[in-house]
């Protein structure tokens, strides 16, 4: 089993915080663990090292929101190096978005590139599976608020909706009056 291979990383704050981050509309932590699962079991078929694959999979999307489709692998690879992971782990991470990013140069890199795609499909399956019960949308709403990256966007969108609703209801003169009233009451 792969838990031993990643036990220390599972408690690292950079990994723990992904429980509250959104990725493919599900918790990023779920995506990372699915990637670990697929990587670990695919590794023997590629002649790759299972421990390297599992550790690379757990870290492969850290801070992915700060990069693009093609560059976020390099961001996560740098974080892995900063956490003290060996070069083989970073090398696997950097190419996990292939064919949208660089081509894998190691067996572990190929494993992760395939495992990430399978994990993404599994994420989608889990999201669609939870739509009927309402769980998926409930979790998504929670993530929108708990993920600092999306929380700011969410707040801006809510503010815009509120303004346009007021605009529709009150019109320009009413909206100005409302602003004056709310600024007076806040003083
Ligand atoms: Fe990624
Ligand atoms: Fe991923």
Q: pLDDT 10s digit of each residue in the chain, 187 long?
A: 899 999 999 999 999 999 999 999 999 999 999 999 999 999 999 999 999 999 999 999 999 989 999 999 999 999 999 999 999 999 999 999 999 999 999 999 999 999 999 999 999 999 999 999 999 999 999 998 999 888 777 778 777 888 888 777 777 666 676 666 666 666 5
Domain for residue 119, yes or no? yes
38/94 same-domain check? yes
CA atoms within 13 A on the CB side of 17: 10
Q: Note whether residue 106 is domain-resident.
A: yes
Residues 181 and 108 in one domain: no
H-helix segments, the chain: 3-10, 13-16, 28-46, 50-59, 72-82, 87-94, 107-129, 135-146, 148-186
Q: Is residue 62 domain-shared with residue 37, that is, in the same domain?
A: yes
Statement to judge: residues 54 and 122 lie in one domain: yes
Ligand nearest to the CA of 71: 1
Q: Quick one: 115 and 159 in the same domain? A: no
Look at the chain and report how many structural domains it folds into. 2
Rounded to an integer, what distance in angstroms lies between the CA atom of residue 13 and that of residue 42?
A: 27
Same domain (yes/no): 181, 112: no
Task: Give the ligand at the shortest distance from the Cα of 24.
Answer: 2
In angstroms, what is the span from residue 77 Cα to ligand 2's centroid?
12
pTM of the model: 0.83
Could you tell me the residue range of the domain that residue 89 belongs to?
A: 3-133
* Pair (96, 16) in one structural domain: yes
We report the CATH number of the domain holding residue 22 as 1.10.3210.10
Residues 74 and 158 in one domain: no
Q: Is residue 141 part of a domain?
A: no
Domain shared by 33 and 117, yes or no: yes
Same structural domain for residues 34 and 87? Answer: yes
**139 inside domain:** no
Q: CA-CA distance, 33 to 96, in Å (whole number)? A: 15
CA of 47 to the centre of ligand 1 (A): 23
Least distant ligand from the CA of 100:
1
């Amino acid at each position: 089993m792969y838990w031993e291979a990643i036990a220390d990383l599972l408690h690292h704050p950079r990994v723990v915080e992904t429980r509250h981050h959104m990725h493919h509309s599900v918790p990023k932590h779920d995506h990372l663990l699915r990637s670990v699962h697929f990587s670990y079991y695919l590794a023997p078929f590629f002649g790759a090292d299972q421990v390297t694959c599992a550790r690379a999979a757990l870290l492969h999307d850290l801070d992915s929101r700060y990069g693009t489709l093609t560059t976020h692998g390099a961001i996560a690879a740098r974080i892995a190096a900063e956490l003290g992971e060996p070069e083989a782990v970073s090398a696997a991470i950097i190419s996990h978005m292939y064919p949208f990013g660089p081509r894998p140069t190691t067996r572990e890199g190929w494993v992760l590139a395939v495992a990430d795609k399978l994990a993404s499909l599994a994420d989608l399956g889990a999201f669609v599976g939870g739509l009927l019960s309402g769980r998926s949308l409930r979790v998504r709403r929670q993530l929108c608020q708990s993920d600092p990256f999306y929380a700011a966007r969410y707040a801006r969108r809510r503010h815009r909706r509120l303004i346009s609703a007021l605009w529709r209801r009150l019109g320009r003169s009413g909206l100005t009056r409302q602003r004056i009233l709310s600024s007076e009451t806040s003083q």
